Amino acid sequence: MKKLRLILWPFAVVYDGITRVRNFFFANGVFQEREYDFPVIGVGNLSVGGTGKTPVVEYLIRLLQDRNQIATLSRGYGRKTKGYLDVLPENSATEVGDEPLQFARKFNQIQVAVCEKRSLGIERLREKNPVPEVILLDDVYQHRHVKPGFLVMLTAYSDLFYSDFVLPAGNLRESRSGAARADVVVITKCPLELSKSEQDKIKGRIAQYTEAPVYYAGIAYGMPAGVDGQLSWDVLKTEPITVVTGIAKPKPFIDYLDRLGLDYEHLEFGDHHTFSPAELKALDGKNRILTTEKDYVRLHDKLNNAQLYYLPIAVQFLENAEAFDNSVLRFTEGHSRT
């Protein structure tokens, strides 16, 4: 790995230079950043994939949906369409992307849209009736033509940004200094028993790049669910199952299943994978399939639903959840920075 990194290092230096110049131009007004006089919250990360943006966006939806008219706006990664689209529960993932479709099917009180150009997407959403009072931008950290009033930066515990390098030598989309733009930093996918000393160590390293408050969050898993409701783990432990993952970093998901002692075959695909007819046919012959919630969105209308289950997940803050919530609510109620 170190040898490969050395080979790729010259390309990383060039890429880093390009992104630094780009960020300099935005910071100094050469490139325009559009700001808004209503609450726009951005969720993103410095690295490529796998930081757990979707459950964090869902956490924010649950926090805000009873207080405000909410809309989410995503690029719609993996969709075959272009431009602005309102996302409806009856859409397919190929039309609108798997994550926006998941939002639309889970939260019927909110508006969900996709658009590559976020400024256009925001304009279109603000034409709706009712007008969204708060817009959540998914995966927006490097989309700098729009400037969220409150920016949540995520970094996964297993791949902390301060130990990483820019592409292609590492996984960072821009240099570590980009963390300075964050209003809050959330360390995602933490062990729920993460010690206070380890938290302090991480916080000290992050303080080299940003003064933003740091929060620690793990993953809370629910019971397997499908079209017929929940399924007990006892049932799944009595028979071999097929586990299907098409996400960037499935290790926490797989580690959880291993801790439960399940007997399974793991079929691993790339993030946002589009399943071919041959793959779907092979999966349809399986007795019982357990997958991630994001993959379920892409598979449930293509397979025999009676045998397809997903594992719900949610963000679980290790501590100070109320402080995180209050920082978000102060912004939405008064447009103030933390």
CA angle centred on 271, ends 265 and 274, rounded to 5°: 85
Q: At what angle do helices 321-334 and 53-64 cross, to 10 degrees?
A: 60
Q: Determine whether 120 is exposed, middle or buried from the number of CB atoms within 10 Å of its CB (0-12, 13-18, 19+).
A: middle
Half-sphere exposure of 137 (CA within 13 A, CB side): 30
Beta carbons of 149 and 179 less than 8 angstroms apart = no
Beta carbons of 50 and 161 less than 8 angstroms apart = no
CA nearest 50: which of 165, 142, 166, 172?
Answer: 172
The tokens of 209 are what?
């790049």
Instruction: Please report which residue ranges of 207-320 form alpha helices under DSSP H.
Output: 233-236, 251-260, 277-284, 293-299
Please give the Cα distance from 76 to 138 (Å, whole number).
Answer: 9
Known binding positions for ATP: 47-54
Instruction: Please report which residue ranges of 28-127 form alpha helices under DSSP H.
Output: 53-64, 93-96, 98-106, 118-125
Question: Residue 82 — φ and ψ, nearest 5°?
Answer: -130, 160
Q: How do strand 264-268 and strand 241-245 relate by DSSP bridges?
A: parallel
**What is the 8-class DSSP label of residue 296?**
H
Known binding positions: 47-54
Beta carbons of 148 and 40 less than 8 angstroms apart = yes
